[in-house]
Amino acid sequence: MLIVFVFISLIVAAFFLYFQSKQNSERQALKDQIEDLKKKYEVANQNLRIEEGELETVMSAISDAILAVDKEGRPIFFNTKFETVFGQGRVPKFLRLREIFEDVEIVKAFDLALVEGRSSLPHPFKYRIASGQEKYFSLSVSPLSRSGLVIYGALGIFHDVTELKTAEQMRIDFVANVSHELRTPLTSIKGYTETLIDDFRKDPENLKEESTQEFLFKISRNAERLMNLVGDLLDLSSIESNEVFHKELVQTEDIMSRLSKSMEVKFRNKKQTLDWTCNQKEVLADPNRLEQVLINLIDNAHKYTPEGGHVFVTWEREGNEVVLKVKDTGVGIPAEHHPRLFERFYRVDKARSREQGGTGLGLSIVKHIIQKHEGTVSVQSAPREGSTFICRFPLKSKH
C-alpha cells in the first residue's frame, strides 16, 4: 500500500515538475516576445523622433511663416519663422486667432477654411510685425481635413512680399515723378509759345519787343531742362541695364585739368574757386562715366555753395582703394536727408534745386556708376558746414 502511495506521489511530482518547467519556458518565451516588441517600439519611436526632427528642420528652413490651427482656432503647429514674425518668439498654444492677430481680415481667411471648408485666395495685407517693422504678406489658408471629409483645422501660409511691394511702389513713384518733371517745363513751353503766337497774330512787329525775347529765352531754358532730364533718364536706364563699362587707367591730373577748364566760366561767375590735388595719379575706371561722376559732384558743389565759396577735389590712395573727395563750403545737408540723398528725384530743398535747374537725378547716377565700378559713395555734411562727397574705387578690378 505504501509502495503504491509513494509511486503515485512520484508520478504527481513528476507531472508537477513537468508542468512547472513548461510554464517557465512559456513565460520565458513571452518575456522574449515582450522584449522584442519593446525593442521594435523603441526603434519605431526613435525613427518617429528623427522624422519629427527632420520635419521641424525643414519647416524652420522655410522662409514663409506657417500656422496650423484646430477647429477652435488654437495653434496646433507653427514654424520658427511664424514665431519670430508674429509672436515675439513665443506663441502660447492656448491663444486663439483673434488674440494672435489684430487684423480681422486674417481671422476671416481662417474662418472661411474652418467653417466653410474653403481655401482662400492669396490675400495681401500690411502688418506691423513683432519687431515693430511694417511688412507686407500674402496669406493663403486651406482647410485641414481627414479623408477629405471632416475638417479638423486650417493651415495658413504667410509669404513675405515686402520687397515686391516696395519695388512696385518705387516704380509707381518713379513714373509719377517723371511725369511731373516732364510736365512742368512742357507746360511753360506751351504757355509761352501760345502767348507769342497770339502776339504775333495781333501785331507781327511785336516780335521785336523785350518781353518777346524774354519769352523766347524762357522757352529755350525749359527745352534745355527737358533735354537734360531725358538725357539723365536715358543714362540711368543704360547704366542700370547691362551697359558694359570699358575700364582703363585714367590719369587723374588730365581729367581734372580738362574739367576745371570747362567749368571755369561757371565758377568765375559765382566768384568761386575750384582747386584740386592728385596725390593718386591713376584710377581704374570707365573714362566717360568717371567724367560724369566728377561733373555731377562738382556741379552740385558749385550749385549749392553761395557766391565766393570754395570747392576742393582730392585724389588719394587708402590701402587698396583710390579715394575721390569733392568738398565744398556750401549750404550743407542736414543728417536726416543723408540716407535718401542718392535716391532718384530726391532733393533736400525742392524749390532751391528746381530754381537751379536740378531734377534730383545727378546723385543717383553717381551711385549707379560707382557701384558698377565695385566701389562705394558716401556723404559727410552738416548745415552751414559744407559737404564732402567721398567715392571709393578698388585699386584693381575684383573680376
Ligand X SMILES: Nc1ncnc2c1ncn2[C@@H]1O[C@H](COP(=O)(O)OP(=O)(O)OP(=O)(O)O)[C@@H](O)[C@H]1O
Binding residues for Mg ion, rule: CB under 5 A, are 300, 362
Give the binding site for ligand X (CB under 6 A): 232, 296, 300-301, 304, 328, 330-331, 333, 341, 346-349, 353, 358-364, 387
Closer by beta carbon to ligand X, 79 or else 353: 353
Query: Shortest gap between Cβ of 334 and ligand X (angstroms)?
Result: 10
Closer by beta carbon to ligand X, 92 or else 231: 231
**In which residue are the cell numbers 485666395 written?**
121
Residue 120: how many other CB atoms lie within 10 Å: 20
Q: Which does 143 bind (CB under 5 to 8 A by kind): ligand X, Mg ion, none?
A: none
CA dist 46 and 35 (Å) reads 16
Angle between helices 362-372 and 210-240 (to 10 degrees): 30
Query: Shortest gap between Cβ of 94 and ligand X (angstroms)?
Result: 54
CA distances from 381 to 253, 330, 346 (A): 26, 10, 16
Q: Which does 69 bind (CB under 5 to 8 A by kind): Mg ion, ligand X, none?
A: none
Residue nearest to Mg ion (CB): 362
Closer by beta carbon to ligand X, 13 or else 176: 176
Q: Which does 112 bind (CB under 5 to 8 A by kind): ligand X, Mg ion, none?
A: none
Query: Shortest gap between Cβ of 66 and ligand X (angstroms)?
Result: 43
Q: Which does 68 bind (CB under 5 to 8 A by kind): ligand X, Mg ion, none?
A: none
CA dist 164 and 170 (Å) reads 10
- Say how many Å lie between the first and final Cα of the chain, rounded: 115
Q: Which does 120 bind (CB under 5 to 8 A by kind): ligand X, Mg ion, none?
A: none
Angle at 396 (CA atoms; ends 391, 397), nearest 5 degrees: 90
Closer by beta carbon to ligand X, 64 or else 328: 328
Closer by beta carbon to ligand X, 159 or else 221: 221
Closer by beta carbon to ligand X, 150 or else 382: 382
Residue nearest to ligand X (CB): 362
Query: Shortest gap between Cβ of 174 and ligand X (angstroms)?
Result: 14
Query: Shortest gap between Cβ of 83 and ligand X (angstroms)?
Result: 42
Query: Shortest gap between Cβ of 70 and ligand X (angstroms)?
Result: 55
Query: Shortest gap between Cβ of 296 and Mg ion (angstroms)?
Result: 6
Closer by beta carbon to ligand X, 111 or else 299: 299
